[in-house]
Amino acid sequence: MPPLQFAPFSTLVSPAFWHKLTDLKIDVLKLSDDALPLTGSYTAGRGITDRETGAEVRVGVSKVTLGRGEEEGGARHAAGVTAVGSFKNFNTVEEFKALDKTRYFDEEAAKIWHSIHTTRSTTDLTRFFLITFADLKKYKYFYWFGFPAFVSKPNWEITEAGWQPVSTVLDLGQLDTISAHLRAQPTTPAFFLIKKAGDAVSVGRVEDYEEFFGVSATATATTEEHLIAFTDPSSSPTHPGWPLRNLLAYLRALHPAASSRVRVVRWRDADYVGGAGGGNGGYGHVASASGDPTPPKPGAVGWERNPQGKLGARVADLGPMMDPERLAAQAVDLNLKLMRWRILPGLDLERVKETRCLLLGAGTLGCYVARGLMGWGVRTITLLDSSTVSFSNPVRQPLFEFADCLDGGKPKAECAAAALKRVYPGINATGVNLSIPMPGHPVPKGQEAKVKEDVERLEKLFDEHDAVFLLMDSRESRWLPTVLGASKGKIVINAALGFDTFLVMRHGVRAKDVKGGAQRLGCYYCNDIVAPGDSLTDRTLDQMCTVTRPGLAPIASATAVELLTSLVQHPEGVHAPAPNPSTELAPTTSYAEQGGSVLGEVPHQIRGFLAQFRNLKLVGHGYDRCTGCAESVLEAYEKEGFDMLLKVFNDQKYLESLAGLDKLAEEGEAALEAVDWDEDGDGEDGDDF
């Protein structure tokens, strides 16, 4: 009799699996190379008839479609056989290549053999495994499947008649009965038993072999009424599918006397079985050649061959197939998520990503802050500015170029937002051309409606964002955003430049929102004893331009961005207390253990001195007579709205009176008058100096 030959599995891996592997590697596995469970499926092979020639064409649908379990879109479905397996991803391609593959394969095969003898379940007979290396920079995935199948010695043989149409042993009525039984199961079984009794037929589990067939453990053979069936993934008319190998090994191991000769049905569903034509089903009589039928542990084969027909790994290159914008999004997230592998496992990147940032000012500071936020994965950035790009801007402001200066210059905010989208199309960047009303800059009667509209638009922008950066050129332009930020409870980050010095600070919450026992942190105006006024009129050229050392703005901008991210990571958020000024340095990983941000300290103010290449961390307490965050100012704004703001714009003295600074001046003068100056000197020459 000719030897029985088998058709190996041929895998088909959905691109969605590689996307899931990417997410799994970055977010869950990280540096772990532990084996994980995997679920796959295969379907029965089929044949179709060519409509033009009438010839039968065999369609190879032997496949494994992968998913990481049912909860993640696994490939389990009623029309396919579910197969369980394992998955192991290596951290480097060198580890992937250096794996002792013979040993690894034998260990996986041993699990199947152990399962046969311990649980007697057929579930592991279709067990498979997958080893991979994912190059997430290039989106190339090296992978190799193994389908361990035991080698029978002596070999199995098939009678000279070979594989016959299944209709030679089962009529259409019996096939319909079997099909109905199988379709009633949650999933298509990989293996099952068929017992004929006249025209009737019944279906049983392979695990119930002796009970179902009514034979003893010492029975030497089954009758013609007893059939062993399996769902056959092979479409070949002469070579049955790979699962039959392990089914025969299972029978020889557990029922050696009764399985020397077996009648096998290659099941491909009754819907595809023709009557006299034979269809796709198959029936054959196979036997084991003479020899020892029960080796202690048979060898196994089953590495999948690559497309060149050689034993070797395959490569899935998804780079050319992927949407470039999606590639960019995954690449942006990749570098950030790598921080959590070794350095900062507790880093909450989603919290940073979801922070909606409003940048007031699209100049030198605004451009650098926007790029820094993008680097941290922030997806929503709105820039606000009222000026246009001038010829002096592109060399200092990285979101602009020479072409933006032509024809009078493009609006800065809109131009910067467009540049961000060119850098990364996935960013939700918006430019708003708007002028912020300021104290000390009176509003003409004819402009009040327009200014009110601008204020309302600015208020809406504050409502739509979580963090606000004050990056403007003048001191008074920061007043209205300071009031809005305090009133609406927003994170406010302030950055200001001198020639070789900078200030970066976060505003504290308003007095009534301070948590019990905490010290209120001040805002940009808490050290002032006068209200902000007009600083833009009557300026020389060097005062009209931002004259700073070119490297200062990137340093201040980066500091402002890092201050925001540290604050967002702090468990108390905007209420985070400021650390005491100290020169002591501590490891970054220790801050979270002390109840702070995982990124380190969250200072109140950082003052940088470029001439000395040093920074100072300072704490400024909130002032109850501050023109920007005093409760009297905030309550007046919340009660009167634009009417109160209009008074501030038109009259500097009104704001000082509202905050109580006028009384402070009076108190100071009264104190001076109350001093008893000693005008008579005690020295011999009457001179104390």
Residues known to be catalytic: 545
Which helix or strand (DSSP H or E) is residue 654 part of?
helix 652-659
Taking Cα atoms as reference points, which of 78, 75, 56 lies closest to residue 66? 75
* DSSP of 239-279: S-BTHHHHHHHHHHHH-TTTTSEEEEEEE--GGG--STT--
Partner residues linked to 435 by β-bridges: none
**Cα–Cα dist 659/670, whole Å:** 19
The answer to whether 368 and 389 have CB atoms below 8 angstroms apart is no
**Cα–Cα dist 392/426, whole Å:** 29
Residue 352, number of CB atoms within 10 A of its CB: 19
Taking Cα atoms as reference points, which of 113, 88, 92, 73 lies closest to residue 35? 88
**Cα–Cα dist 333/352, whole Å:** 12
Q: Please name the amino acid found at residue 81.
A: V
Query: Which tokens in the block code for residue 505?
Result: 């600070």
The answer to whether 144 and 314 have CB atoms below 8 angstroms apart is yes
Supply the angle between the helices 661-673 and 652-659 in degrees, to the nearest 10. 70
* DSSP of 550-607: TTHHHHHHHHHHHHHHHHHHSTTGGGPPPPPP------THHHHHTTSBTTB---SEEE
Query: Which tokens in the block code for residue 449?
Result: 């409606």
Q: Please name the amino acid found at residue 403.
A: A
Partner residues linked to 40 by β-bridges: 83
Which residues are CB-neighbours of 127 under 8 A, at least 6 positions away? 83, 84, 85, 108, 111, 112, 115, 148
Strand 191-197, strand 226-231: pairing = antiparallel
Which residues are CB-neighbours of 413 under 8 A, at least 6 positions away? 362, 383, 384, 385, 386, 431, 432, 433, 434
**Cα–Cα dist 615/621, whole Å:** 19
- The torsion defined by the Cα of 509, 514, 518 and 520, in degrees rounded to 10, comes to 40
Taking Cα atoms as reference points, which of 396, 432, 395 lies closest to residue 414? 432
3-state secondary structure of 30: coil
CA angle 86, 90, 94 (to 5 degrees): 140
Partner residues linked to 429 by β-bridges: 381
Q: Please name the amino acid found at residue 550.
A: P
Q: What is the CA radius of gyration of the chain?
A: 39
Residue 210, number of CB atoms within 10 A of its CB: 14
The answer to whether 75 and 39 have CB atoms below 8 angstroms apart is yes
The answer to whether 474 and 577 have CB atoms below 8 angstroms apart is no
Supply the angle between the helices 479-488 and 448-463 in degrees, to the nearest 10. 40
**Cα–Cα dist 660/283, whole Å:** 100
